[in-house]
Amino acid sequence: MTFALVGNQNSGKTSIFNRITNMNQHVGNFPGVTVDITLGEVPNISNCQIVDLPGLYSLETYSEDENVTKNFLYTNKPEAIINVVDSMNLQRALYLSLQLKEIGIPMVIALNMLDEVKKNNGRINIEKLEKMIEVPIVPITSITEKELEKLLTVTRKIAKKSNKLNEIKKENVEMKYNKIDNIYKEVIFLPQNKREKKSYKIDTILTNKILGIPIFIGIMYIIFTLTFEIIGENLSNTLQDGIDIVSENLIIYLDSINCSIIIKSLLVDGIIKGIGAVLSFLPIIITLYFLLSILEDSGYMTRIAFIMDRPLHKIGLSGRSIVPMLLGFGCSVPAILSIRTIESEKERDLTLNLVPFISCSAKIPIYTIFIQLFFKENKGLAMLILYLVGIIIGIGITIYIKTRNKKETENLFLMELPNYRMPSIKNTLHLMWNKTTEFIDKSFTIIFFTSLIIWFLKSFDWNLNWIDSKNSMLASISKSLVPFFIPIGFKDWRIITAIITGISAKEAILSTLTVLSNTNIESIIATIFTYNSSISFMVFTLLYTPCISALGVIKKEYGTKKAIKIGINQFCIAYIVAFLTYNLFSFF
């Protein structure tokens, strides 16, 4: 059996999905979090799965992610629909609920967030609502095990294989809403939402058309300062000390057992140094994720989309494009996937060209070490400027593409603004943990194998003789490319090697430089970079070709030609901007 979770965006579908399946899908309070079908087994029920589908407001779909939901229902014909409804927005949710009933798949309504109704001294006559819409309803207050057990029990009772499904009736929309208004008046009493009233007052400041963007930039500056100057840096230094102790003790032990020089080099230079170069910055990444998770759980992240709608509209985008951009701060892969939530094909294409310029978390260790060495004052400001440079250049490319395409489209933007709330420690830690584990899982695998390959290529010549790295296979390949990179300040073959491995994953850049040196990462960077070339390198790393994973998703979603075009275009843009940056700083 298959049960489909369907509902409006931000109605709590994914939270219910996680509790039922014991999985840890990302839960967010802004549209675009669920952009694909997620499957999970239902415990204690044999041969039963539950499907978390992208949120939508109507079966008259417009965006690609909404089509995913509609197509799944009509093609896969699940045995039952669990329609998740936000009790605080019952009137709006009833439109979709009535449409779902029409198509003929057995349905149960999970009336979620009833605790919010009670907090606002409201009440819902559930029995009367059941009779009026002729659909079983299971109240959900805090997603307890008992509530979920009842929900699954009711769903199993009504579940059955549908025959041919019905098409949605093309009745007058106004008539349907009049019907919904009558139902709503009969079953619910809800005084003015206290939290909504407070949120409105806060929004007069935070979403002000003049103050909104400066406040957003100020908040990000505070976050970067806390991350890179106060909290994260001190924790990172502590972890680096621990990694150094492990490395030193390992060397002492290997020497005591007369270990082969090759094995010793593999373990110390290849693995410990390579992985440690990135892991030492993990506290900084965790701190950044924690602070961003607080913003997300508070409801402010959605406001950023609202704030940015006006300026984005001028370049052919809308506030909906901000969702992929925000996700891009974590990883480009989910950011690219979330582009399908955008209705307009033209806007999807413009957003796709913009998102890879958003600086993902994999680049944070690179920026951090360079800023610590070359920009010891105002580290938070330096980091903010880097992020803004990527966004500004991405917007510039978007404007260029828009001017070439004269066809104008009206990008209407509709987005629900959830009420502000005090961030939950549990939710914040959960979000932080999910993002951190994703980073570690991805980084460990890629860095481990990249470090091994780099170590092998830098330790042997073409005849497989153990040799100094300057005369290795890797050196001969990279040295042949040095003349091409000299105009942007990269004169050492080890820099070129790091750039090449960085295409596999940006985390591999630091591990590559560490493996190629006989000292720590700070010393090697201080040796092979000047002040000017360090700026050029950060800019180049910020802008050049996305990682293999991101290119793979672009290929899957938009085709091979598009992936190759974006990869080449970004490399060229990165080279040009790095060339201008290096020579401008050198001139002054």
The domain boundary, picked from 392, 414, 445, lies at 445
- The pLDDT score that the predictor gives to residue 461 is 84
What average pLDDT does this structure show over 507-522? 81
- The pLDDT score that the predictor gives to residue 410 is 55
What are 205-229's pLDDT values in tens digits?
988 888 988 998 899 888 888 887 7
For residue 184, pLDDT over 60 is answered with yes
Q: Is residue 243 part of a domain?
A: yes
What average pLDDT does this structure show over 256-271? 83
Asked if 1 contacts 47 with a C-beta cutoff of 8 angstroms, the reply is: yes
Q: Which two tokens stand for residue 134?
A: 């002729």
Instruction: Give yes or no: residues 436 and 475 share one domain.
Output: no
Asked if 72 contacts 49 with a C-beta cutoff of 8 angstroms, the reply is: no
The domain boundary, picked from 161, 191, 221, lies at 191
What are 451-500's pLDDT values in tens digits?
788 888 888 888 888 877 778 888 888 899 999 999 999 999 999 998 98
Q: Is residue 347 part of a domain?
A: yes
Q: Flag the least confident range among 3-12, 108-117, 304-313.
A: 304-313
Q: Is residue 279 part of a domain?
A: yes
Closest CA to 4 of 31, 37, 43: 37
Work out the pLDDT band at 37, boundaries 50, 70, 90.
Answer: confident
Expressed as residue numbers, the domain containing 345 is 212-406+427-445
Q: Which residues contact 576 (CB under 8 A, 6 or more apart)?
A: none
Q: Flag the least confident range among 77-81, 276-280, 391-395, 554-558.
A: 276-280
Instruction: Give yes or no: residues 144 and 216 share one domain.
Output: no
Residue-wise DSSP of 293-362: HHHHHHTHHHHHHHHHHHHHHTTT--GGGHHHHHHHTT-HHHHHHGGGG-S-HHHHHHHHHHGGGS--GG
Instruction: Give yes or no: residues 165 and 249 share one domain.
Output: no
For residue 193, pLDDT over 70 is answered with no
Number of separate domains in the chain: 3
Instruction: Count CA atoms closer than 13 A to 359's CA, side-chain side.
Output: 23
- The pLDDT score that the predictor gives to residue 78 is 92
In this prediction the pTM is 0.69
Work out the pLDDT band at 24, boundaries 50, 70, 90.
Answer: low
- The pLDDT score that the predictor gives to residue 27 is 53
What are 371-414's pLDDT values in tens digits?
888 887 778 888 888 888 988 898 888 888 888 776 555 556 66
Higher model confidence: residue 32 or residue 311? Answer: 311
Instruction: Give yes or no: residues 186 and 218 share one domain.
Output: no
